[in-house]
Structure 1
Amino acid sequence: MKAIVYSSTLPEKIQLSEIQLPGIGENEVRVRLVAAALNHRDEWCRQGLYPGLKDGVILGSDGAGVVDAIGANVDSNLLGKEVIINPALHWGDNQKAQSKEFKIIGMPDHGTLAEFVQVPSDRIHPKPEHLSWEEAAAVPLGGVTAYRTVVYQGKVVAGEKVLVTGFGGGVAQFAVQFALALGAEVYVSSSSQAKIDKAIGMGVTAGFDYKDENWTEEALTLTGGFDLIIDSAMGNTLSQLIKAARPGGKIVLYGATKGNPGVLDARKVFWNQIQIIGTTMGSDQDFANMLALVNASKIIPIVDQIFPLEDAVLAFDKMKAGLQLGKIVVKID
């Protein structure tokens, strides 16, 4: 089968290859993929910035397709079902945090940028009927991360003022849609006016240019401070977020693309009783709850661009440039 694999010896670090999957396990299903979607972790793998890299591994964590083969212990009724894939393996029994064995398909296990993928049968869920194949493929990793961030960790409540920073990426756009669906008053930040305008068109109240050194003052004047802030940058911007949070507010961090903060206003944190919470991915329960919200509220992911499998390098290059609004999707079938 055709697949996009990691190859550390090549200039592009990825290549389209012919791969033979191993025999299907007795508790596994094989999914004929129709579409897959990129996440930042795929590009980080390409750049050699992800742990446990192995040459020849098929990249990709998000995917949607049709079950076309099953293991000996799997219900035969699953054959032919249209599904999306939960890419998380071995979260464990603790809803509060993942186990030491937790990992995500796409590295070091084969992923979804291929014609087929084999996963344990409990990793598949019915494809939301209101979504196209490309939209469905865009849901899993970004959707569950955003759900856990906004709902489980953020405990968003209708009427709260919520800020989602860096609007445009996959998780951020889901966070906005989930918070809106649950009745929050949502704001965004971005350095792109076009992305801010897109968010306002989705129902967001207002947006702020985070490159403007006075954006926090503008936000405080407009809102009085945020009850919940969702962020994946951290770095020295954390001090701005602490300033923008109202007393008793929460800041939930699902990434640190700008690295560790150089300065932390600890007095403002404890005096204003601000909660700073870390989160990543999500449990099996989070995934099921996320899909329920997607179905109930008819959430539709923003798809930025669709590439054929043969043009995966171009898709990765666009991810690296960071210019996308929403998810970058690879059409398999």
Structure 2
Amino acid sequence: MKAIVLDGINLPLTIKNVNKPKLKANEALVNLKAAAFNRRDYWIQRGEYAGLKFPIILGSDGAGVVVEVGSESEKDWIGKEVVINPSLDWGESEAVQSSAFHILGLPQDGTFAEYVKVPLQNLHIMPAHLTFEEAAAIPLAGLTAWRALFSRAQLKAGERVLVAGVGGGVASFVLQWAVLAGAEVYVTSSKREKIRKALEMGAKAGVLYTDKNWVEKMRPDGGFDVIVDSAIGRDFDHYIELAKPGGRIVFFGATASGNLPELNARKIFWKQLSILGSTMGSPKDFHDMLAFVNKHLAKPVIDAIFPLAHAEEALRKMDRSEQFGKLVLRVD
């Protein structure tokens, strides 16, 4: 089969012929029709991710058709159009992932290939209103956004949400899910074009976080019930100011500095704020997210679709932070 392979740190993604995966019991072989990039793929190529191994087929997101199963009892899956939940071995707790938890695409070969093997329990029937490209764009980023907003921050209709750094895959889903849930959503970005697109998606207002006085521009009466961030960095202290009493600040990444800046603890306890970490999501989170997608006939924001052989070109677009929404590979 053809696959996109990363042979080492800072090497380009290259298309190669590799062996098809071999199945064990309770596994399925999916003939992929589309796959999608996540920032995770970029960090792996850079060598800034835990558990590196090479060569590796990257890719956590995918949608396609089941062509083989490892157990005769599961043959009813064959021929079904599916979307893959890349959150593997989450465990029994809804509160936190198990020690065995990992994500499809490292250490296990991922979806940038004609075929991928996944546990049957991680397959879901593809929403009928979506194309393969649209379905493939949802899993990792959509799930991360879902858990952050609803399982962790407990967002309710009518609440006010600030989405920091809109434009990336997860932030775009945070914006979309929050708007569909009936929240009043505001955004920040480093580019006016991304703010314009966010307004088209239903954001009420947006500001450039590169402006020195962006906090004053983004201070609605009463503050924010929920603030969602993926960068951390020096601006995190501003969220303490912008959160309303009883507010929740949730984050799922640390791409700016890797650590929280020094915070004013007095304001945190006096305002009774919750600072929440979040990672990916449980099987229940994924099930609930797909039900939400089906209920609202939601479609993800796709920035661009590339042929499989152009995977390196797509990753360089992500490197330049040019995209708004997801970057997708058409596998066939």
Instruction: State the TM-score, normalizing by the size of structure 1.
Output: 0.97
Q: How does 1:1-333 map to 2 (within 5 A)?
A: 1-8=1-8, 12-220=11-219, 222-259=220-257, 260-333=259-332
Is the 1:29–1:74 Cα contact (8 Å) retained in structure 2?
Answer: no
Displacement of 1:186 in angstroms is 0.8
Whether the 8 Å CA contact 1:308–1:331 is kept in 2: the answer is yes
**What CA deviation, in whole Å up to 9, does each residue of 1:78-99 have, x standing for no partner?**
1110000001111000100000
The secondary structure found in structure 1 opposite 2:56 is coil
Relative to structure 1, is the Cα distance of residues 224 and 215 closer, same or farther in structure 2, using a 3 angstrom cutoff? Answer: farther
Secondary structure of 1:251's match? strand
- 1:23 Cα shift? 2.1
In 1, the alpha carbon distance for the partners of 2:221 and 2:151 equals 24
**1:204 deviation in Å?**
1.1
Partner amino acid for 1:268?
K
Change in CA separation of 1:35 and 1:267 when aligned onto 2, cut-off 3 Å: same
Shift of 1:21: 2.8
State the one-letter code of the partner of 2:228: I
SS in structure 1 of the partner of residue 68 of structure 2? strand
Supply the distance in 1 between the matched residues of 2:12 and 2:202 (Cα, whole angstroms): 40
Q: Give distance in 2, aligned partners of 1:47 and 1:7.
A: 12
Query: Is contact 2:143-2:280 (8 Å) kept?
Result: yes
Question: Offset of 1:328 from its aligned partner?
Answer: 0.3
Q: CA deviation at 1:331?
A: 0.6
Higher alpha-carbon deviation: 191-200 or 92-101: 191-200
- Native 8 Å contact 2:14 2:309 kept in 1: no
1:331–1:74: structure 2 CA closer, same or farther, 3 Å change rule?
Answer: farther
Superposed structure 1 runs of 4+ greater than 4 Å apart: none
| Residues 190 and 209, structure 1, Cα contact 8 Å, conserved in 2 | yes
Alignment check: 8 A CA contact 1:161 1:223 kept: no
Rounded Cα–Cα distance in structure 2 between residues aligned with 1:163 and 1:203:
13
Deviating more after overlay: 16-25 vs 305-314: 16-25
Displacement, 1:17? 1.3
RMSD of aligned alpha carbons? 1.2
1:133-182, Cα deviation, whole Å (9 max, x unpaired): 11110000001100000111111111111111111111111111111111
Structure 2 residue ranges without an equivalent (≥5): none
Size of the alignment, in residue pairs? 331
Distance 2:152 2:103 in 1: 21
Deviation, structure 1 residue 13: 4.1
Distance, in Å, in 1 between the alignment partners of 2:167 and 2:328 is 15
Measure the CA separation in 1 of the matches of 2:261 and 2:229.
Answer: 17
The amino acid across from 1:238 in the alignment is: F
User: Contact conserved, 2:237 with 2:261, CA < 8 A, in 1?
Assistant: no
Q: 1:74 to 1:37 in 2, by over 3 A?
A: farther
Q: 1:266 to 1:73 in 2, by over 3 A?
A: farther
Q: Structure 2 counterpart of 1:284, which letter?
A: P
Q: 1:74 Cα shift?
A: 4.3
> What secondary structure does 2:227 align onto?
strand
Contact 1:27 1:73 in 2 (8 A): no
SS of match in other structure, 1:316: helix
Q: What letter is aligned with 1:127? A: M
1:192 is displaced (CA, Å) by: 1.2
Mapped to 1, the partners of 2:144 and 2:325 lie a distance apart of 14
CA-to-partner distance for each residue in 1:283-306, whole Å, 9 max, x for gaps?
A: 000000010011101111110011
Distance 1:223 1:15 in 2: 51
